[in-house]
Structure 1
Amino acid sequence: MSDGSAESAYYAQLARTRGAAGAVQLDGSGRVLLVRPGYKPVWDLPGGVIEAGESPLAACTREVREELGITPVLDRLVGVVWFPSRPRRTASNLFVFAGRLPETAQTAIEPDPGEIAEFGFFPVSALPEVEPHTERRVRSCVEGYLGGGTVYYEESTKPAWYGGSGEGPG
């Protein structure tokens, strides 16, 4: 009978990746909620790093609560983005969840001033300054949410696969 040391050694040598989770939150007009973190000059989806032992959905909920003081509405997973290793960073997976935020939650937003410099709701066709891969991700994930699909990216390229009908965006 094994004492588990071989199994432990096997798992110890496997590659490690980081995980993060982001939230697509739409208002009643279909505008998407974005935040501008205090540590970067561009806008992004609310969200952040998955902590040890935490699920992607739990991380997304926690991060939105920490950043904006509200509980997000997360109906379903709408996107997964894989980022390769780069200097000082291991490979990572970003899980994007989406839902429609009720007006009561929209008016209750209180950003954490230590993390978030600004927040706002923007039409997908007129996003503020975002990184190009963020713009593609926001557009594709909103379209996937509205169309019932899920998008998958590798290295922030164009969508590699859409769930649901199997059709990609436009």
Structure 2
Amino acid sequence: MTDKGMTEREAVDCIKNAIIEGRFGPFLKDNHELMVWETEETINRAFDSRTVAELFNDCFPPQDRYEYEIVRRICARLLRKNRELPKQLADWLAEELENPNPPKKEKKSPFSRNASICYMVHRVWVEGYDFTRNPESPPHSACDIVAKAMKELRLRPQTYEGVYAIWKKRSYYTHLE
């Protein structure tokens, strides 16, 4: 019997879901690392529950690369389903096809991402895992679990060493001791 609140797999899934749902603040939008994957999921959910007009109005005209990607994918989805594009969207698409001008990818500081990683490690620790491990020990620490979740989502860092390097500097990124 273990004193851990959840299995390692449950902990990895918990961290992945928290990242996807944006519960670690600006983690996704600041770094745009999940942009394409997360955008597709957002649109799939939105098309199931909202009208195109509601979804479209939330991010038009696109102000950043994230919203640009959403609008671009809305156009593609509507065209594939032979659905009519709203006039404003059709005009935007025609202009983009003639003169492509996506918003520039902004260089962001990794500060918010690193702070989020520290909070993720802490969240797993709350479930009963050790923060770190001896390098020769099996990979079952909070840093290992966060690294596994990041790897499954194709985010960086994807290794224990990368997450551990951020965790060591946690007092710089967070109020965690």
What's the TM-score, normalizing by structure 1? 0.23
Larger radius of gyration: 2
The structure where helix makes up a greater share of residues is 2
What's the TM-score, normalizing by structure 2? 0.22
